[in-house]
Amino acid sequence: RCVGSLQLWLRVSGVQATFDPEKDLWPLPYRQGRVELRVILHEVLFSMASTATEAVAAVELSMPVERLHRCRLPSPQYSDVRPLGPRGVRAGVSFEWRCSFPLTVLLPSSQKNLVISIFEPKNWQLLGTAEFLVDGVLSQVAETSGRQDLDNIPVFTRNNAGVCGSLSLTVRAVPWNLAQDFPLQAGREPSAVPCFEN
C-alpha cells in the first residue's frame, strides 16, 4: 500500500561506489490504536511569591510523532478560574479538574508529554509550566486501564529559568471500548474540596 512519496538527488562519482542493502522506509514499526487519556489535576503549590489572586490551568498533549504522521491531535482543555489560597509563605490552587482526551496514537508510544500551564486569568500571564511523559501510562493500556498517581511534579517558571512550585495529578489511560461504555465529561470533581496541608 502506497502511503507517500520520496524525492532525492543522487550523485555517483567516478570512483567505485558501494551501497547499503535495501532498507524499508515505510511502514515504520508502529501500529495505530484508539485510547482515551483521562487526567485529574489535583492541586498546584507555588514556592515563589506572586501578585496573582486567581489561576486557570491549560492541559494539552505534545505528540511530535503523531504530528509528523498527520494524526489528528487533541485541542487544549482549560479549567475554570480558581482562587490562589495562602499556604504560609506559599500560594496554592486546588483545581480537582478532570480532562478527557480521545486519542488516535501510534504504538509503541513515543515522546508523548502532558503539558500543564498555569495562567493568571486577567491578563493570561504565565505563572508556571509542568510536563509529564505519558508513554509509560499509554503502554499499559490493555483489558484494564493503566493509571499513575503523581505528586511533586516540578512546575517551572517562564523559559524554564527555575522551579517555582509543584503539582499533583492522576493520569489514566483507558481502552477505547471501555471509555465508550463509561464516558467521562470534563469538569470539576463533584466532591472536590481544598486539600492544602497545614
pLDDT in tens, 159-191: 888 999 999 999 998 888 888 998 888 888 765
Whether the pLDDT of residue 4 is over 50: the answer is: yes
In tens, the pLDDT along 112-141 reads: 999 999 999 999 999 999 999 988 888 776
Q: What is the C-alpha to C-alpha distance for residues 115 and 155, in angstroms, rounded to an integer?
A: 10
| Amino acid residing at 51 | T
pTM of the model: 0.76
195 or 82: whose pLDDT is higher? 82
Grid coordinates given for 43: 492541586
Preceding amide of 29 cis, omega within 30:
no
Residue with cell 474540596: 193
Cell numbers describing residue 134: 505519558
Cell of 184: 467521562
Residue 180 in 3-state DSSP? Answer: helix
At residue 196, the pLDDT reads 41
pLDDT in tens, 53-92: 999 999 999 998 888 877 888 999 999 999 987 755 568 8
Distance separating alpha carbons of residues 84 and 54, to the nearest angstrom? 5
107, burial (CB in 10 Å: exposed 0-12, middle 13-18, buried 19+): middle
Q: How far is CA 29 from CA 4, 16, 65, 106, 109, in A?
A: 16, 34, 12, 9, 11
